[in-house]
Structure 1
Amino acid sequence: MSKVQPTTESLHFGAIVNEHRELAKMTRAQLASKFPVSPSYIGRTIKGTTRCSYENAEKLDELLNACGHITDAWKKLNSGFPAYYQDFQAKEATASLLRTYSLLLVDGLFQTKEYAFELLRDDKAVANRLKRQEVLQRIPTPMFCLVLDEGVLYRRIGSKETMREQLQHLVEVSQRDGVFVQIAPFAYHRGARSSFSIATQGDDSSTVYIEKTTNGETTTLPAQIGESVRVFARLQSQSLSPNATRDLLRKAIEEKWT
């Protein structure tokens, strides 16, 4: 395999492999002889500078008695999502209730392909984002509560056509059972400093994802969950109703994007 620049994700995978290698009391040369691959390949895998195939990840998991830890790490490495988001994405996929506040952009679960491409400029990244949206079709269907800052309606992403189709998509998806889309009018909303999402499971446990300038943070700390829930409740109480939101979306389409 060719040498590549290490990423946070590949370094994490390499650390998992190395941890189990050390637990197995096996040198890199001893481990390599079991494949066979070269000791340098094992070294590059540990350093995150080569891309391990799934077949090799399975073999490593078996040889090191890792009980699925290595193959699970490989799946995360190749999920297409950054390391700081992967834990939340897993919770999002199984949640019974999803609450999201979007300050600057339409949330990824509700983006059209064209809108997403303007943001990501990468076909694979767009495909991964659209795959996330499969949660919208899941049975049983989770409840979705989306609050958008009013500025999102007027912040141009791509062409007028892209914006028109995106807002029309929001109108359509907001009419599905269990999907509630609301607009938070231009105003100061206490505590709403950035976009965030709350994924709540069937057992009422929650995970929060908070966007930051260059990355994001996933947390299960009770204090942060509690504050996020309170901020979201205030946002909902100060936002337009779903029906009034659809009216404003249609107005923005007609007056701004047509």
Structure 2
Amino acid sequence: MVNINALDPSASPLDYYGFELRRCREAAGLTQKQLGDIINFTASLVGQIETARKLPTLDFSERVDAALGTGGLLSRLHPLVMRSQLPAWFQQVAELEVRAAEICSFQTHMILGLLQSPAYARAVLGAVDRSDLDDRTAVRLARQNMFEKEEPPVFWAILSEAALYSEIGGRETMRGQLVHLLTFEDNPRINIQILPFSAGAHAGLTGSFDLYRFADDPTILYTESFRSGHPTANPETVRECSLRYDHLQAAALSLKGSAELIRRVMEDRYGEQVA
């Protein structure tokens, strides 16, 4: 077991979280078991989080904050902890997601991470590597908490129709993912368009990309290759891809037409009608 007294709070956000959790618990005069009983988690889990061996969930953080009267300290630390667990090359993107006023994404072959259901995310992440799969899935899904901010970004997603047919995770997982997409239908800040097969040659044939727009900073274009990301604020490149995105939106189905296509795919492939 890690010696908590030797835990360096400056080593990482996870270490800092564990250090603060223990400090607050001891200040309240509680053992790990007593705190666990209050928040309905095991003493073992409390100990693992205090020693930076286990990732805290937002639910855990909120319960501890309420039990110890920390003023929301651990809940505020939680997003920082989760972002720190992302691959190093992707952490900058997670920061862009949080800061952006508008995000425009085009995906060629699967549902992007910010719109993935838990089962779909797990299937994607576990396709080749199943190590630490619970934690890696939790870290990916935590990025979606940005939609719960007081002023979340306006989010536009254009998905290739192919993403609706690729049965990632099996029939039940894919059915659930399509249902998940439809839950955003009435959210004016989360807009999903489908680029149909009938569009033929289109402006996104060179691959997926994201545009991050900010209130006071230049727009950033982000593209990705194997285990590496490539953000750029080069004005010419950003202008070109912004124009490509405009053409993709013009070629894609309307918001209503996109939702209708998702329903049609569900009915055709899974015999299920969704109102």
TM-score by length of 2: 0.65
Q: Once the two structures are aligned, what percentage of the paired residues are identical?
A: 30
CA distance in 2, matches of 1:228, 1:189: 13
In the alignment, is residue 245 of structure 1 matched against residue 245 of structure 2?
A: no
- Using the alignment, how far apart are the partners of 2:251 and 2:103 within structure 1? 19
TM-superposed CA distance for 1:198, in Å, is: 1.0
Moved more, 217-226 or 162-171: 217-226
- RCO higher in 1 or 2 (8 Å CA, sep ≥ 6)? 1
1:211 deviates by 2.0
Once the two structures are TM-superposed, the CA of residue 115 in structure 1 deviates from its matched residue by: 0.1
Using the alignment, how far apart are the partners of 1:77 and 1:252 within structure 2?
Answer: 34
Q: Is the 8 A contact 2:147 2:153 kept in 1?
A: yes
Q: Deviations over 1:214-253 (max 9, x none)?
A: 4321222222211221111110000000000000000111
* 2:213 pairs with 1:208: no
Match of 1:178 in 2: 189
Quote the residue 2:118 is aligned against. 113
| Other-structure match for 1:93 | 98
Q: Is the 8 A contact 1:76 1:86 kept in 2?
A: no
In structure 2, the CA distance between the partners of 1:161 and 1:191, relative to structure 1 (3 Å rule), is closer
String of CA shifts for 1:1-57, please: whole Å, max 9, x gaps.
99xxxxxxxxxxxxxxxxxxxxxxxxxxxxxxxxxx9xxxxxxxxxxxxxx943457
Residue 54 of structure 1 aligns to which amino acid in structure 2?
P
Which runs of structure 2 are paired with 1:22-101 in the superposition (5 Å)? 53-56=8-11, 79-101=84-106
Paired residue total:
194
- Which string of whole-angstrom CA distances, capped at 9 and with x for unpartnered residues, describes residues 92-116 of structure 1? 1111101000111101000000000
d(CA) in 1 for partners of 2:223, 2:208? 6
Q: Alpha carbons of 1:56 and 1:162: their partners in 2 closer, same or farther (altered >3 Å)?
A: closer
Residue pairs, 1:128-207, within 5 angstroms:
128-186=139-197, 187-203=200-216, 205-207=218-220
AA partner of residue 184 (structure 2)? V
Aligned counterpart for 2:233 among listed residues 199, 202, 220: 220
Aligned-partner SS, 2:183: helix
- The answer on whether the counterparts of 2:83 and 2:91 sit within 8 Å (CA) in structure 1 is no
2:84 is paired with a residue whose SS is: coil
Are the counterparts in 1 of residues 203 and 245 from structure 2 also a CA contact under 8 Å? no
Structure 2 counterpart of 1:112, one-letter code: S
Distance 1:83 1:228 in 2: 25
Q: Runs in 1 of length 4+ with deviation above 6 angstroms?
A: 75-78
